[in-house]
Amino acid sequence: MKTFKVAEVFLKKDKNVIKIPLKDGLIINREDEKGTWLIELFLDVKDERLIQSFKYETEITAHVAITHRDNDPAIFSVSVSTIQKLDHGISVLFDAKLDQIRNEYAKK
């Protein structure tokens, strides 16, 4: 497995793209035969209502900038696995599958 820092996340709902206000985040490439990833986002408690609106969506498109905000985002199909309350915020786990890497270097 490989772990990376999440720099920025946008979730698409209907035709709206919503920036998720991160405190921190990790993305893990499980390197399994299904090509699945795990995304964990740490958010303020005040943002729980926003993330709850995605809880029952089965296919959410996520644009995830990995390591640096300036990096082209990778596009994933995600679904909310769990939302856990913490002492100083919430943890949101997403099951994810990589759809596309938007990077000129990757195309070459």
* Domain boundaries of the chain, sorted by first residue: 2-107
Task: Quote the pLDDT of residue 35.
Answer: 86
94 vs 68: CA distance, rounded Å: 20
95 vs 88: CA distance, rounded Å: 23
Task: Quote the pLDDT of residue 50.
Answer: 92
Task: Quote the pLDDT of residue 108.
Answer: 42
Q: How many CB atoms neighbour CB 49 within 10 A?
A: 8
Q: What is the pTM of this model?
A: 0.88
State which residues of the chain have pLDDT below 70.
100-108
> Any idea which residue has 């991160």 for tokens?
22
Q: How many residues are present in the chain?
A: 108
Task: Quote the pLDDT of residue 13.
Answer: 83
Task: Quote the pLDDT of residue 104.
Answer: 52
For residues 85-95, b (16+ Cβ closer than 10 Å) or e, as one string? Answer: eeeebbbbbbb
